[in-house]
Structure 1
Amino acid sequence: MNNLSSITKSLLVLHFTVFIWGFTGILGALISIDAVQMVWYRVLIASITLFVYFKLSKTSIKVTRKQFLQFFLTGSIVAIHWILFFHAIKVSTVSVVLVCMSSITLFTAVLEPLVKKQPIFKPDIFVGLIIILGIYLIFKFESQYTLGIVLGLLATVASSIFAIINSNLVQKSDAKIIGFYEISGAFFWITLYRLFNGELQNESFNLGFHDWIYLLILGTICTALAYVAGVSVMRNLSAFRVALITNLEPVYGIILAFLFFGSKESMSVGFYLGATLILGSVFLYPIYKKRKNLQ
């Protein structure tokens, strides 16, 4: 009974976490500053929040020099992903970008075997072709958002790369510690970039009240808290179940986008057909893969 209760609790926490991830895109559209500045504030707030969490929970954050360099360098890819993601939202819509992000299944299916020098699973290619067809339909019917689609797909490639890297790193290190150093690394690299282009010297921290509220929610709840919560559920839930529920992120995000932005998020029939192909394949493929493995 206790085990069932812990699983139910973990499922609720995971759904809440995925819902928060879906809400991230809404905040990206609501915050008035540009993508680079927004991500800089996000990772600054998240780094401080996680550091305070570790101090209060008396968790050691000591790592080796090699681990530190690995995490910090991976942080640069995390920074690129978030900047591309939010910039894509700025030039298109939340719905378009979240559907593009669903194509991570395609990029991971291709990139992971290449990185790990393994053969590509044939059904992965078939699912990839369906996702490509879905992306083509979105391109065809929502051509006014071409830049947003391209940036969204590039953000997805970056996300896939650091997910593959993390799948190796997490075998030897605590995921929360990895997250802290990667987010801190993202802050370091964006700070360097802003120093070189002269932006940081002119940073006045003089943002509007609503921007500060949205940034605090983005940095604390949607980044630091969501990361810790997302990791904690892995103790009670299988990787398969986590992956399946995580696929609800674009669904939650698109529903929230309609609630917040209404007609701005209305798309053509072609978009919804493409989105259905992508989301359908993303949902059904893990189920097929698990049944195949059980045979």
Structure 2
Amino acid sequence: MNEKSHLNHLLLLVVATLFISTSGVLGKFIDMPTPIIIWWRSALAAIFLLIFCLYKGINLKIISGKDRWTFFIAAVFMGGHWITYFYALKLANVAIGMLSVFTFPVIIALLEPLFSKTKFDPMHIVLGLMVLVGIYILAPDFDLKSGQLQGLLFGVLSAVLYSVRILILKGHVANYNGTMLMFYQVAILSIILAPLLYFMDTSNITTQYPYIILLALITTAIGHTMFVNSLKYFKASTAGIIGSTQPVFGIIMAFFFLNEIPTIHTFVGGALILGTVVIESIRSNKMK
């Protein structure tokens, strides 16, 4: 890869990260019940991704029945991850919501030996403790009635669900295109969540269309597709480190669009959590 091409791919990776970062502000801002937001996000993203797959001639065939079950279970975990993440954003703020979800690289490292033949690395205990200290600093007070603490706990739960989804997919479906994987997951999720449209208030959609379309198209379809495609050109560590700037972008957007001002606790706790992401990204790459 020549220098100009490398810079172009790097720029696209940063743009992809920026697009995915919009989930924080949009998740906090969109005024509808969380499961309904996720249904619209999934259904519209499925349409956009299907059009993209057909346009690019991406093979949509699922090889085996076992993989069908894997796709389905991964979609359920992705839905759980998105719903708990958006609850975190609404209960706390964008900074706490996004930073708590970014505990996922260390959670993946801790859970991986349970899903594969990977040996347990004692260093992950140290990184896990760093993350716990970061979460402790982020939490304004340990009152379970506090929206900030509830948001933080939902964010960590979201990170666990996301980690399990990644580990499920990693073990079974290395043979598939990333965009095709995303299409099936959002399509399955939109079917699973469809019954909720009958029980929850959806009347607000008329005023929320522009933001829902942004969430489905920019954040989900384009952002995630660009990010997955960028993995062809970069080591996982590079993508991981650049990806860890998502909360930074999210906090900046929340400052300008939602007037959310992060506290010193947010900066210190966030720096510890993101520091572990960078350390784990570099270490995991050296060990390959």
**Cα deviation, residue 83, structure 1:** 0.6
Question: SS of 1:245's equivalent?
Answer: helix
Matched with 2:261 is 265
Contact kept, 8 Å, 1:24 with 1:218, in 2: the verdict is yes
The alignment covers a number of residue pairs equal to 284
Question: SS of 1:121's equivalent?
Answer: coil
Question: SS of 1:59's equivalent?
Answer: coil
1:147 aligns with 2:159: no
Contact kept, 8 Å, 1:71 with 1:178, in 2: the verdict is yes
- Per-residue CA distance 1:220-254 (angstroms, 9 max, x = gap): 11111112211221222122211111111111111
1:252 aligns with 2:249: yes
1:116 aligns with 2:116: yes
Moved more, 81-90 or 68-77: 68-77
Q: How does 1:196-275 map to 2 (within 5 A)?
A: 198-199=198-199, 203=202, 207-209=205-207, 211-262=208-259, 264-267=260-263, 269-275=264-270
Contact kept, 8 Å, 2:113 with 2:119, in 1: the verdict is yes
| Distance (Å, rounded) in 2 between the aligned partners of 1:137 and 1:274 | 5
Letter paired with 1:255: I
Contact kept, 8 Å, 1:61 with 1:177, in 2: the verdict is yes
Contact kept, 8 Å, 1:74 with 1:185, in 2: the verdict is no
**Cα deviation, residue 190, structure 1:** 1.3
Moved more, 250-259 or 164-173: 164-173
Contact kept, 8 Å, 1:26 with 1:257, in 2: the verdict is yes
Match of 2:272 among 277, 283, 291: 277
Matched with 1:129 is 129
Contact kept, 8 Å, 1:135 with 1:274, in 2: the verdict is yes
Question: SS of 1:208's equivalent?
Answer: helix
- Per-residue CA distance 1:260-288 (angstroms, 9 max, x = gap): 222x3332x33322222112222234335
| Distance (Å, rounded) in 1 between the aligned partners of 2:170 and 2:12 | 22
**Cα deviation, residue 3, structure 1:** 3.2
Matched with 1:18 is 17
Letter paired with 1:137: I
| Distance (Å, rounded) in 2 between the aligned partners of 1:106 and 1:238 | 18
Change (3 A) 1:180 1:287: same
1:182 aligns with 2:182: no
**Cα deviation, residue 140, structure 1:** 4.7
Contact kept, 8 Å, 2:88 with 2:152, in 1: the verdict is yes
Change (3 A) 1:253 1:136: same
**Cα deviation, residue 96, structure 1:** 0.5
**Cα deviation, residue 123, structure 1:** 1.1
Contact kept, 8 Å, 1:77 with 1:158, in 2: the verdict is yes
Question: SS of 1:171's equivalent?
Answer: coil
Letter paired with 1:134: G
Change (3 A) 1:117 1:284: closer
Contact kept, 8 Å, 1:79 with 1:187, in 2: the verdict is no
Matched with 1:161 is 164
Letter paired with 2:268: L
Q: Which has the higher helix share?
A: 1
Q: TM-score, normalised by structure 1?
A: 0.89
5+ residue gaps in structure 2? none
Letter paired with 1:10: H
CA RMSD across the alignment = 2.1
Change (3 A) 1:118 1:58: closer
